[in-house]
A and B are shown apart, each in its own frame.
Chain A
C-alpha cells in the first residue's frame, strides 16, 4: 500500500494503518531497533512502541516520508531502551558506532553548548558538505548503526574504503563542531 494511503488510514483512525505499517516497514524498523539494542526481544518491543507512537502522532503529524519518520521514531525508542538496559546493566551491547561518534564530538574540557536546533542545523550543514557516497556511509553507520562489513556489502565497496570514508567524515565533523562552538 502506498504511504499516502497508509497515512490516510491514520487520519481516519483506522487500525488497519498499523497492520499496513507492520507489513510494509515492520522488518526494516525491527532491524533498525535490533542493531541498536542487540536483542530481538527488545527490538520487537521497540517496534510495538514505535507503532503506538506513530498512532498517537499521526494526526496531526503528516510525515512527508513515512519510512524516514518511522525509522527515526523506532531509533529513538531503541536508544532509550539501550540506555535503560545499560543503566541497569541489562545489556552488554557496546554500540560501536555511537562510541565512535561520541569520541568525535566529546569535548576536551569544554562542554558542548548546542541546543537541539543548533546541533541539527550544524549537522545538516556538515552532511550537505559530504559527497553522496560519504553521506550515505555516514548515515548508515551512525543513524542505522550498520556494521562496517554490512555497509561494505550493501554498497559493494571494500571495508577499507568504508573505514576511510568514515574516518574522513568524522574528522570533518570534529572540525565543524569545534568551529561552531568557538563562534
Chain B
C-alpha cells in the first residue's frame, strides 16, 4: 500500500509509476507541438455555433434588418436569434442592435475614400477578456463570384477560408487565433460581409490585431452524405485593428448575489458573454467539480427589459451559449451573438436571479 511506504521510497515509486505517462505514442507529443505557439493554434468554432450565426444572418434578411446598410454606416447589427432547434425557439426582438464600435472606443481603420476590389475593412469590433467579435466587409467584386449563385452562397455554405489572427506585441506578430471559417452575413454587389467570432483571450500587451482572411470556397452537399470543398477565390485580404484598454468591453456586475445549489454567486454580463462568480470557494478539485455540476444541472437564462427571455442548458442544447469554462472561481460562457447589455434585465442560474441597474 503506497500510503504506508516511507516518504522517500514512496516518492521513488510515485515517479517511476508516472514515467508511464512518457510511454504514450509520439503522435500525442506532435499534436502538442503543432497546437501551441511553435506551430499553429486553432480556435475551433463549434459547428452548432456557426450554424447559429449563419441562421441569424438568414433571419436578419427575412425580418428586414438592414445588416448590410448598418454595416456600411459603421454599425455592427446582428439579430440575436436562437437557432430553430428543439425547445429553444425564441427570437430576440427586431432591431436588437449591438453597440456601435465607435461608442465603445474601439478604433477601427478609417474608412478609405475608395473601397476597391481586394480591400477589406472592419465595420465593427467588440472584444472582451475572453472573446472577440468583428464584422468585416470585403470587396470581392474581382473574385469571380457569380451573382446568380447568390442564394447558395448566402445559405451559410459559403464559409470556408483562411482566417488567422495575429496579435502585435512589441512590434512582433504572434498568431493567437485561427478559425476555419467565418460565416457570411450578406453578399451584395460584390461586397461580402463576414462575422468573425471566437472565444479566446486577447494576449496581454497586444497593441493591435492583424487579420488575414481569404481563400474562400464553400462546402457543397450535392452528393449527401459526402461533402466537397469547392474553392472559389485564392485571394487573401488583410487588415489591422488597433487595441487599447478602452476597446475591451468590461462586464457589468449584478447588483445582488443569489444562491444556487448551495453556493452563493454574483454575476456579470458583457456584450460577448456572461459570468457567474462563486463566492468564497477555493479552486480545489472538489469545488471545481461542485460548480461544474451546478452549472450542468441548472438552466442559464438571460432576460431582456422587454420581457424576452432565453434559457439554455449548456450541456444539452447550446443556443445563446458558445464555448466557456466552469470552475470554482468563475463560470464563463460566450454568447453566440452580441448582446446589448443596456437591454439586459437579469441573468439567472436555475432559480437564482441576478439583476442589473
Contact = CB atoms under 8 A, between A and B. Distances in A.
Contacts of B18: 79, 98, 101-102, 142
A123 B24 contact: yes
Contact of A127 (B12, B24, B283, B285): B24
A85 B9 CA distance: 12
Contacts of A158: 129-130, 201, 325, 332
A112 B325 contact: no
A163 interface: yes
Interface residues of B, number: 51
A93 to B, nearest CB: 11
Contact of B11 (A87, A114, A161, A165): A87
A98 B10 CA distance: 13
Given A158-B325, A164-B327, A68 B29 contact: yes
Majority SS at the chain B contact face: helix
A168 B329 CA distance: 15
A119 B330 CA distance: 34
B8 interface: yes
Contacts of A64: 26
B25 interface: yes
Contacts of B129: 158
B30 A65 contact: yes
Interface stretch (A9-17, A42-50, A103-111): A103-111
A154 B26 contact: no
Nearest to A63: B26
Contacts of B16: 79, 83
Contacts of B176: 156
Given A75-B22, A79-B18, A67 B36 contact: no
A144 B32 contact: yes
B35 interface: yes
Interface of B: 1-3, 8, 11-12, 14-33, 35-37, 41-42, 44, 129-130, 176-177, 200-203, 283, 285, 288-289, 292, 325-327, 329-330, 332
